[in-house]
Chain A
Amino acid sequence: MKPFAYARPGSVAEAVRDVAAEPAAVFLAGGTNLVDHLKLGVARPDLVVDVRTLTSREISDLPDGGLRLGAASTNSEVAADRRVRERYPVLAEALLAGATGQLRNTATTGGNPLQRTRCVYFQDVTTACNKRDPGSGCSAVGGYTRHHAVLGVPAALPDPTAPETCTATHPSDMAVALAALDAQVQVLGPAGERTIPFADLHRLPGDDPSRDTVLEHGELITALDLPPLPAGARSAYRKVRDRASYAFALVSVAAVVTADGPGSSTVRIALGGVAHKPWRATRAEQVLRGGPLTEDAVRAAMAAELAAAQPQPGIDGGNGFKIPLLTRTVVATLRELVEATR
């Protein structure tokens, strides 16, 4: 662990100023991921600015019928909030599917979406990783790909030496639900406030896998806004993992179904565990728009969504199983939601 300075300024504005002024500064909220990274040498900041008590911990009603989640509210608090459970069950379920009770008591609304990939190579400073050490290459190609991406990657075996190669997945469950809910991210930065649609917060590796999000240095999430769901909408989160608890998703599905009329629904689908960002399945949503949610229709929609998927070969058979598993999990999740709306 590299020594660092620790600061707990008196206000959010001060915290933003402090981080913006120091290139190797980071914000600390719940610390459930950052503290591990400090120990492992994955994060090597000179300055850690603690914002845990600076941003709001409130969960409040918005005038449009939505909810605002203060950045410092904990995952446990949000999951237990009656309004969240009644209006956004997909979010409560996603939060409760993540981590453990102890971690959820500490992890925050602002921090959870900013947690970093659990790619084993990213977390091991003795192996090459373009995300941790830009330009060093990617050890995951042909390696342990079970938890890696099949969507948003250019090829089944990308060039491991290329600086843009990264097949990491985003590990957050909460973020998958937020993508399906069309949440809005409230951000304060050195240049002032701005609002980012949640779907645009995370990015694909592009030519810089080291950047997980579009946030600029010094920008801090202050709140997440949940817009109201249409009347009669039902939502659910389904996580499939290698053990019953305390494991990251192999695949996960956040779905919101709104019945538009007889034989016609609007569906929102977000997928987790399969891409560098929470993956909004817009292609599948388009195919399903206005039609009946039969299992055949959902399978066809997922076939369209997954046409460009790239299974990553690797140890123990690679991760090609995620492609049929995604379809099966989406079919099962929508089946249950449709049955519940009847």
Chain B
Amino acid sequence: MTDLLEPRAIGRDLARRDGVAKVRGTATYAFETPVEHPAYAHPVQATVARGRVTAVDTSAAEALDGVLVVLTPSTAERLASTDDAELAVLQTDEVGFRGQLVGVVVAETSELARQAADLVRVAYEERQHDSVLSVDRDDLYAPEQVNAGHETDTAEGDVGAAMASAAVALERTYSTAMYHNNPLEPHATTALWDPAAEVPLTLWDSTQGVHPDRATVCRVLGLEERQVRVVCPYIGGGFGSKGTPHANVVLAAMAARALPGRPVKLALTRQQMFSLAGYRTPTIQQVQLAADRSGRLSAIAIDVVEQTSRIKEFAEQTGVPTRMMYASPNRRTTHRLAALDVPVPSWMRAPGECPGMFGPEVALDELADELGLDPVDLRIRNEPEVDPETGKPWSSRHLVECLREGAQRFGWADRPAPRHRDGAWLVGTGVASSVYPTMRQATSTARIRYADGRYVAEIGAADLGTGTWTTLPQVAADALGVDVDDVEVRIGDTEYPIASVAGGSSGLNTWGSALVVAAREFRGKFGRRPEDGDEATGDVDQAAQDEDHAAYAFGAQFVEARVHADTGEVRVPRLLGVFACGRIVNPRTARSQFVGGMTMGLSMALHENSVWDPQVGQVANHDLAEYHVTVNADVGDVQAHWLDEHDPYVNAMGSKGIGEIGIVGTAAAVVNAVHRATGVRVRDLPVTLDKLLTGLD
């Protein structure tokens, strides 16, 4: 049990502290950092999907007036560490995927750098590439573990026997597409290498974590942490793609090091982001469910096939939510990977849970259909008493309450019959559950200082649009027992104490916990009447850590879908989610997170699809005109509600993290609603009209 803070600032609907600066355009993002006399870098990318660079002719590029530096695999500095092949930029002639970095041009203007990059002639020895994911590849392998340190496979009981003897057994294959994070702000860095300075390398980098960013850059370049500063006050979105530094950050640093004393700016183009900034692997999910006539599950299993890059492994933990979501005596989850000649996959909002709650949540709807049960009731019937994976009790679990309140708010009981028609449109409703683990990172330190009648807290945390600038002061104010206006929190700079990455919905849980420790330390040392300059620090590892409970946030999402009876066009006029995520620190920024996540889930359901072209070996639709995300006209009434959930185990704020759960389950709910509207079950995302046409009259 943790002593929960008495919520005074926590829970208040405070406006974003950085809002005015952002609306006025005065908030500076990485690329805009004001620096003296900047130079501009533009990458050169491989145009073969597999092979070797045999020659690079830079003469035409270097002949242009204003070109300062051209780096190639044979002229670039040798990096201290090349263990991570994604970051071993320009260290080898080998090409592992199309779009990989094979050079960079630095010039006086960005236009000139781009022109010169076009003039770099690269010759290749091209080899046959292999980039098609399928379940019947003979080279699928089991990784040692999957993302976030989860076991690759789990098994309990005998799924096969349960399937054979069950009243109803369902076996289906589902697939999710390849997705690219596509934050509005591209991956961008302003880099300055000044060997004579006390801190020789400064990176103003768009990153979800200045300290993890610095640690990686130091390892790759062979620098001490004191030699590098990373600054990032504002981020124009990341969705995980800025959670770990990608090759562009290393390239920017190398370009700066080739031009000592001169700041170098590098921003990826939208097209370049499709090969250099990570993405979510496509997944193929073979799901098995066995149940009795009342809908009680006797078996649940998911066997996942997904891809990674041949040069670096990333194994999305797609099967993980199936391990804990519902009660069933027999269970199995497996992950198998194909290592292909493709760019390196990475984190994208709710890795694991987002794709992993698609197949099973659609399968449950199919099971409900087969049993003639309400899909809400089916889920409630399979509510586990304790965490099926660990046997631990839940710190709090209110999925059933989310389902019931959502059903009531949505008007689920009065939903129209299957294939209901309203004018030219077929109307259907669907439901799915959401889940996300409550995580806290092991490392983060906050420092609180009293100065001029105010409390200034410093921590190298990140605000990628989530509201950190606003919510951390709320936590600090309650921890110190002062008004929120008397607290200033500074984030986004390695000059401040170490902080973990903004990822895994762990930011507030982690940094807030460190702030609470620091505040208690401060009050313990200096009492209620501190003097100017009084200062205390606190580490997250000093905060109470509960090991005895399974901690997750839950939710339920309800969807109304309309399908045009002539053309198969899909519209979703209503999305409604109810979430149980512990205490909500700021309803305004929280609602924005939930609604944003749900909208991104709608986008996954209907639109997003990185179309992989195996002939060329790249994403064919690599810009925002062709890679569709849901636009305003697609978004109707999106409502996010939450329960007033009390959880005394998770942390002093009682908060569970909300950045990711909104995207989890949405796509399944859309598919289920479309099925109710049309009778067509789309098992491979996205739900495009061509998949519905044959089922329409």
Query: Are B631 and A328 closer than 8 Å at their CB atoms?
Result: no
Interface window among B309-317, B338-346, B490-498, B608-616: B608-616
Which one of B47, B621, B623, B631 contacts A246 once the chains associate, using CB atoms below 8 Å?
B631
* CA of A61 to CA of B615, assembled, Å: 52
Query: Are B625 and A243 closer than 8 Å at their CB atoms?
Result: no
Interface residues on A, range: 35 or more
Chain A residues, CB < 8 A from B620: 120-121, 143-144, 315
| CB nearest to B694 among chain A residues | A324
Query: Are A332 and B567 closer than 8 Å at their CB atoms?
Result: yes
CB of B341, distance to nearest CB on chain A (Å): 16
| CB nearest to A333 among chain B residues | B566
**With contact pairs A1-B115, A120-B621 given, residues A315 and B634 touching in the complex (Cβ less than 8 Å):** no
CB of A168, distance to nearest CB on chain B (Å): 14
Which one of A143, A146, A241, A243 contacts B616 once the chains associate, using CB atoms below 8 Å?
A143
Query: Are A144 and B621 closer than 8 Å at their CB atoms?
Result: yes
* CA of A240 to CA of B271, assembled, Å: 26
* CA of A243 to CA of B621, assembled, Å: 15
**With contact pairs A143-B615, A243-B607, A315-B620 given, residues A321 and B567 touching in the complex (Cβ less than 8 Å):** no
User: Is A163 engaged at the interface, CB distance under 8 Å to the other chain?
Assistant: no
Query: Are B613 and A144 closer than 8 Å at their CB atoms?
Result: yes
Query: Are B693 and A321 closer than 8 Å at their CB atoms?
Result: yes
Query: Are B689 and A325 closer than 8 Å at their CB atoms?
Result: yes
Chain B residues, CB < 8 A from A242: 607, 628, 688-689
Binding site for B on A (CB under 8 A): 1-3, 39, 41, 118, 120-121, 123-124, 126-127, 139, 142-144, 146, 240-248, 250, 315-317, 321, 324-325, 328-329, 331-332
Chain B residues, CB < 8 A from A120: 620-622, 626
**With contact pairs A143-B616, A243-B631, A329-B567 given, residues A2 and B611 touching in the complex (Cβ less than 8 Å):** no
Please give me the 4 A-B residue pairs with the lowest Cβ-Cβ distance, nearest first.
A245-B633, A321-B690, A244-B633, A144-B620
User: Is B630 engaged at the interface, CB distance under 8 Å to the other chain?
Assistant: yes
Interface residues on B, range: 35 or more
Chain A residues, CB < 8 A from B118: 1-2, 41
| CB nearest to A321 among chain B residues | B690
Q: Is the interface of A mostly helix, strand, loop or mixed?
A: loop
Which one of B114, B611, B616, B631 contacts A139 once the chains associate, using CB atoms below 8 Å?
B616
20 new A-B contacts at CB < 8 Å, known A146-B611, A242-B628: A1-B114, A1-B115, A3-B111, A3-B115, A118-B625, A118-B626, A121-B616, A121-B620, A127-B616, A139-B616, A143-B615, A144-B620, A240-B689, A243-B631, A244-B633, A315-B612, A315-B614, A316-B611, A325-B567, A328-B693
* CA of A39 to CA of B571, assembled, Å: 35
Query: Are B689 and A250 closer than 8 Å at their CB atoms?
Result: yes
Which one of B47, B611, B613, B628 contacts A243 once the chains associate, using CB atoms below 8 Å?
B628
A-B contact pairs, 10 of them (CB 8 A): A1-B115, A118-B626, A120-B626, A127-B616, A143-B620, A144-B621, A244-B571, A316-B609, A325-B568, A332-B566
Query: Are A126 and B615 closer than 8 Å at their CB atoms?
Result: no
CB of B574, distance to nearest CB on chain A (Å): 15
Residues of B629-668 contacting chain A, CB below 8 A: 630-634
**With contact pairs A1-B115, A143-B620, A250-B689 given, residues A315 and B613 touching in the complex (Cβ less than 8 Å):** yes
Chain A residues, CB < 8 A from B607: 242-243
Residues of B582-620 contacting chain A, CB below 8 A: 606-607, 609, 611-616, 620
CB of A306, distance to nearest CB on chain B (Å): 15
Chain A residues, CB < 8 A from B690: 317, 321, 325
* CA of A3 to CA of B115, assembled, Å: 8
| CB nearest to B47 among chain A residues | A126
* CA of A332 to CA of B566, assembled, Å: 7
* CA of A317 to CA of B690, assembled, Å: 9
Query: Are A245 and B689 closer than 8 Å at their CB atoms?
Result: no
CB of A324, distance to nearest CB on chain B (Å): 6
User: Is B541 engaged at the interface, CB distance under 8 Å to the other chain?
Assistant: no
* CA of A1 to CA of B615, assembled, Å: 27
Binding site for A on B (CB under 8 A): 47, 111, 114-115, 118, 271, 424, 566-569, 571, 606-607, 609, 611-616, 620-623, 625-626, 628, 630-634, 688-690, 693
Which one of B424, B567, B612, B615 contacts A240 once the chains associate, using CB atoms below 8 Å?
B567
| CB nearest to B567 among chain A residues | A240
Chain A residues, CB < 8 A from B613: 139, 143-144, 315
* CA of A315 to CA of B693, assembled, Å: 18
* CA of A123 to CA of B627, assembled, Å: 14
* CA of A317 to CA of B684, assembled, Å: 12
Query: Are A142 and B615 closer than 8 Å at their CB atoms?
Result: yes
* CA of A142 to CA of B693, assembled, Å: 22
CB of A8, distance to nearest CB on chain B (Å): 20
**With contact pairs A1-B111, A142-B615 given, residues A240 and B569 touching in the complex (Cβ less than 8 Å):** yes
* CA of A328 to CA of B688, assembled, Å: 16
Query: Are A247 and B615 closer than 8 Å at their CB atoms?
Result: no
* CA of A139 to CA of B618, assembled, Å: 12
Chain A residues, CB < 8 A from B569: 240-241
CB of A45, distance to nearest CB on chain B (Å): 14
* CA of A245 to CA of B625, assembled, Å: 11
* CA of A142 to CA of B620, assembled, Å: 12
* CA of A248 to CA of B626, assembled, Å: 9
* CA of A240 to CA of B692, assembled, Å: 14
Query: Are A245 and B567 closer than 8 Å at their CB atoms?
Result: no
Chain A residues, CB < 8 A from B632: 245
* CA of A123 to CA of B690, assembled, Å: 25
CB of A281, distance to nearest CB on chain B (Å): 17
* CA of A80 to CA of B184, assembled, Å: 31
* CA of A126 to CA of B612, assembled, Å: 16
Chain B residues, CB < 8 A from A248: 625
Query: Are A315 and B633 closer than 8 Å at their CB atoms?
Result: no
CB of A209, distance to nearest CB on chain B (Å): 18
| CB nearest to B684 among chain A residues | A316
| CB nearest to A127 among chain B residues | B616
* CA of A39 to CA of B114, assembled, Å: 9
Chain A residues, CB < 8 A from B626: 118, 120
* CA of A243 to CA of B633, assembled, Å: 8
Q: Which of B271, B616, B628, B693 is most buried by chain A, counting CB atoms within 10 A of its CB?
A: B616
CB of A104, distance to nearest CB on chain B (Å): 14
Which one of A121, A139, A325 contacts B693 once the chains associate, using CB atoms below 8 Å?
A325
Chain B residues, CB < 8 A from A142: 615
Query: Are B566 and A328 closer than 8 Å at their CB atoms?
Result: yes
Which one of A39, A240, A245 contacts B631 once the chains associate, using CB atoms below 8 Å?
A245
* CA of A126 to CA of B114, assembled, Å: 15
Chain B residues, CB < 8 A from A118: 625-626
| CB nearest to A245 among chain B residues | B633
* CA of A53 to CA of B114, assembled, Å: 30
Query: Are A243 and B693 closer than 8 Å at their CB atoms?
Result: no
* CA of A79 to CA of B496, assembled, Å: 55
* CA of A247 to CA of B624, assembled, Å: 10
Query: Are A244 and B631 closer than 8 Å at their CB atoms?
Result: yes
